[in-house]
Copies of this chain bind each other. A is one copy, B any other.
Amino acid sequence: MPDPIPRPITRLIEEFGRLPTIGPKTAQRLAFFLLRAPAAQVAALGAAVTGLREHVVTCARCGNYADQDPCSICCDPTRDQQLLCVVEDPLDLLAIERSGGFNGVYHVLHGVIAPLDGVGPDELNLSALAQRVRREGLREVIVATNASIEGDATAAYINGLLEADSLVVSRLARGLARGGDIEYVDAATIAMALEGRSRVADDWPSGV
């Protein structure tokens, strides 16, 4: 029998269903929620979606999403402009910024080297990275890609790409997350935490 849902509703259900983590049931629930929501809320959501790309730019220097080019981080004179942190995507940048432990500048790759997915160095923001190192006299490049096989491979590639006498290329420490119970930590992480152990001193742990 013909489906009794009006086309504008099925269209919205389809569009919601194309979003990550939104399955058919949730898409249906969201569409019917909006049918009963105040008109102002529906209008606000529609305007926020439509206006997303109109007012967001990509910083030509670091690749992050911003409302100005260059972005406020790149333009900030109080930041350490010779210390660079390379990340896979803007959400990683956000997490690092919110940690409060970094005062340098960033470079967003918008991805990671993943040969099985057809993503090689040319598909990432990597040539711009090499140019920045030459042009900006960087002191250290922290490769803060994820602690995964692809993240490690990308770090190795960057290390080979940027090899120079005066440049330090570093990687974030591996180990236990704060609050974690060793009993539930995976074997590889425990092995790395053992390997990277450091002496207990009067001022350790710092800042924890």
A residues sitting closer than 8 Å to B (CB atoms) are 1-9, 11-12, 14-16, 18-22, 26, 28-36, 39, 41-56, 64-67, 71-73, 89-91, 93-94, 97, 100, 110
Contact = CB atoms under 8 A, between A and B. Distances in A.
Chain A interface secondary structure, helix, strand, loop or mixed? Answer: helix
A161 to B, nearest CB: 24
A33 to B, nearest CB: 5
A178 to B, nearest CB: 18
Nearest to A110: B36
23 contacts: A1-B100, A4-B71, A4-B72, A5-B94, A6-B66, A7-B67, A8-B51, A11-B48, A12-B52, A15-B41, A18-B41, A19-B30, A19-B33, A20-B33, A29-B91, A31-B52, A32-B90, A34-B52, A36-B110, A42-B53, A43-B50, A45-B49, A47-B50
B8 A48 contact: yes
A19 B19 CA distance: 14
Copies in the complex: 2
A8 B41 contact: no
Contacts of A43: 50
A82 B50 CA distance: 46
Given A15-B48, A72-B2, A56 B8 contact: yes
B19 A44 contact: no
Contact of A42 (B1, B35, B49): B49
Contacts of A100: 1
Contact of A93 (B4, B65, B90): B4
